[in-house]
Structure 1
Amino acid sequence: MAVDYVHGYSDHEARRLGDQADTLAGLLHEGTAYPPGSRVLEAGCGVGAQTAHLLARSPGIDLTALDRSAVSLRRARERVAAAAPGARVRWCRADLFDPPFPDAAFDHVFVCFVLEHVADPRGALAALARVLRPGGTLTVIEGDHGSAVFHPPSPRAEAVVAAQARLQAAAGGDALIGRRLQPLLAGAGFAEVAVRPRTVYADATRPALVNGFVRGTFTPVMAAVREPVLAEGRLSAAEFDGGVADLLRTAEDGGTFHYTFFKAVARAPRRG
């Protein structure tokens, strides 16, 4: 089952998702391109941040974009209309666990930053396997907040990251799911599962990643959970704010930041 989206549906979050997708497009979408005419499902398309890059790398595909949020789908339509006019996209408001498509309806399924927000990721994968043709591919991309390593070191910053992951877990999600992709996919019956790390490393020599990822993506995700984390009572306001300040310090001269995404590609088993 899906859980509440821990980051919310604000205009600010929509912009953050777009900026994140643009910053990481080369890293995350490298190696993903589908032949023209392929029937592709993007499950959990959200505001279309990844959809636009998916279409840019695979022009001519027959894309279906599914999400449960009407607000997100509206934003996705607007984004794709501006970024990829003329692209063939069918928009579908539906539950990831009950996709309204016949068996084997798609040649490929693409899922990015979705499984971390569902309480039963294996169940979600099983639902997607049903609509994927035998031998078709599933691509899954997820992060893992436990992979965040930074300099200068900061116990306060580490406590903020841990608090965000704890909050997401309390909502039924998993901010550490990247490390579990291989067993999840294998357990859901997929074959030829291959998981590869996609690493972000930012320092003063990589200003685009410093600004786009450290300042514009990771730290805002942490800062956005301030109120619920303080309500939890484990961190004081001074501790939380100090941790966020220390994360931003890693984006200054002399700072470094490392984070690992995990990209899995697998095939739906052939029947019979």
Structure 2
Amino acid sequence: MTRYTHGHGEAVLRSHRWRTAENSAAHLLPHLAPGMRLLDVGSGPGTITADLAARVAPERVTALEATEAALALTEAELRRREVPADLVVGDVLDLPFPDASFDIVHAHQVLQHVADPVRALRELWRVCRPGGVLAVRDADYGAFAWWPALPGLERWRSLYAQAARANGGEPDAGRRLLSWALAAGVSEAHVGASTWCFSTPDGRAYWGGMWAERITASALADQLVEEGRCTRADLEEMSEAWRRWSAAADGWFVTVHADLVALRPERPGQSGT
């Protein structure tokens, strides 16, 4: 894992806790069944992890995060929801598990923050057992679209991309996901697309309000100023653009994600093995 661009400030966590299996892992849900061993890589605040755990119970899930501090966020949510789990600190580039350890391997919004996503996919594929499923989802910031066309939001996207790439990540990961999977030798991979769309008053208040705060009070905000990419006054102007977007009666914002599902062949000699 490279430096995590977003950090774990309260506005970021509020965003991540909004995520559920239904709105963030719908591509995986048809493949889940009770008793499956599931690994959730990059479990964050644990809301998706807990939802997935309910679908594979009574088997315990394994949640992996890059640091003890990040894993503590997962642990708190799982404890709150009384979800049993194995909690592991580890590196997606060198997973601390034997080959073929899991029926389901899941990673949500992880590869965009990894310096070597092909190597990461090889590791995810390695720990997926024959007959198992690898499910990966990553956003594509360059494909995000919105109205009204406010210059402040364009600057937000440009600066976010600069910061993410300076940290070794790739904010347009979605469009590259299939290419990375092929380079990693992930066979039987299907990559589709899904979106989050914010166009109701409540949706705009949530999405715009969250980003209005994140662009001024987060690890991203601190990095942009420290690296001289903008000033605090610039951040405030972008925050105001987010508030203007939130207040617009015709405000509309769509985020685009690539969804990968790969079924690991059962036997040596099958396609891709």
Q: Aligned partner of 1:110: which letter?
A: H
Deviations 1:145-172 (A, max 9, x none): 1122222212232012110111010010
Deviations 1:56-101 (A, max 9, x none): 4444343111112111222211101212x2x341111222222222
Q: Are 1:18 and 2:22 counterparts?
A: no
Name the SS for the 2:170 alignment partner: coil
Name the SS for the 2:250 alignment partner: coil
Q: Is the 8 A contact 1:35 1:61 kept in 2?
A: no
Which consecutive segments of 4 or more residues in structure 1 shift more than 6 A?
Answer: none
Q: Shift of the alpha carbon at 1:50?
A: 2.0
Q: Shift of the alpha carbon at 1:31?
A: 4.3
Aligned residues: percent identity?
30
- Name structure 1 gaps, 5 residues minimum: none
- For residues 241-260 of structure 1, what are the structure 2 equivalents within 5 Å? 241-252=236-247, 253-260=249-256
1:124 corresponds to: 120
1:41 corresponds to: 39
Q: Aligned partner of 2:78: which letter?
A: V
Q: 2-side partners of 1:234 and 1:11: how far apart?
A: 23
Q: Aligned partner of 2:6: which letter?
A: H
Q: Is the 8 A contact 1:249 1:255 kept in 2?
A: no
1:214 corresponds to: 208
Q: Aligned partner of 1:229: which letter?
A: L
Deviations 1:203-237 (A, max 9, x none): 2xx23432333333x44444433333234444454
Name the SS for the 1:173 alignment partner: coil
Q: Are 1:228 and 2:260 counterparts?
A: no
| CA root-mean-square deviation | 2.2
Name the SS for the 1:201 alignment partner: strand
Q: Is the 8 A contact 2:138 2:173 kept in 1?
A: yes
Q: 1-side partners of 2:145 and 2:10: how far apart?
A: 29
TM-score, length basis structure 1: 0.87
Q: Is the 8 A contact 1:150 1:250 kept in 2?
A: no
Q: Aligned partner of 1:152: which letter?
A: P
Q: 2-side partners of 1:259 and 1:163: how far apart?
A: 17
Name the SS for the 2:107 alignment partner: strand
Q: Aligned partner of 1:248: which letter?
A: R
Q: Is the 8 A contact 1:122 1:185 kept in 2?
A: yes
Q: 2-side partners of 1:146 and 1:18: how far apart?
A: 24
Q: 2-side partners of 1:183 and 1:193: how far apart?
A: 10
Deviations 1:110-154 (A, max 9, x none): 001111111001101111211111232110011111122222212
Q: Shift of the alpha carbon at 1:268?
A: 2.9
Residues 212 and 53 of structure 1, relative CA distance in 2, 3 Å threshold: farther
Deviations 1:158-210 (A, max 9, x none): 0121101110100101111111111111211112221222122222xx23432
2:26 corresponds to: 30
1:73 corresponds to: 71
Q: Aligned partner of 2:160: which letter?
A: Q
User: Which of 139, 158, 169 does residue 165 from structure 2 map onto?
Assistant: 169
Name the SS for the 1:102 alignment partner: coil
Residues 227 and 94 of structure 1, relative CA distance in 2, 3 Å threshold: closer
Name the SS for the 1:137 alignment partner: strand
Q: Aligned partner of 1:106: which letter?
A: F
- Name structure 2 gaps, 5 residues minimum: none
Residues 189 and 245 of structure 1, relative CA distance in 2, 3 Å threshold: same
Q: Is the 8 A contact 1:214 1:257 kept in 2?
A: no
Q: Aligned partner of 2:128: which letter?
A: L
Name the SS for the 2:246 alignment partner: coil
Q: Is the 8 A contact 1:65 1:89 kept in 2?
A: yes
Q: Shift of the alpha carbon at 1:238?
A: 4.2
Q: 2-side partners of 1:118 and 1:258: how far apart?
A: 24
Q: Aligned partner of 1:246: which letter?
A: A
Q: Aligned partner of 2:2: which letter?
A: V
2:268 corresponds to: 271
User: Which of 134, 138, 141 does residue 137 from structure 2 map onto?
Assistant: 141
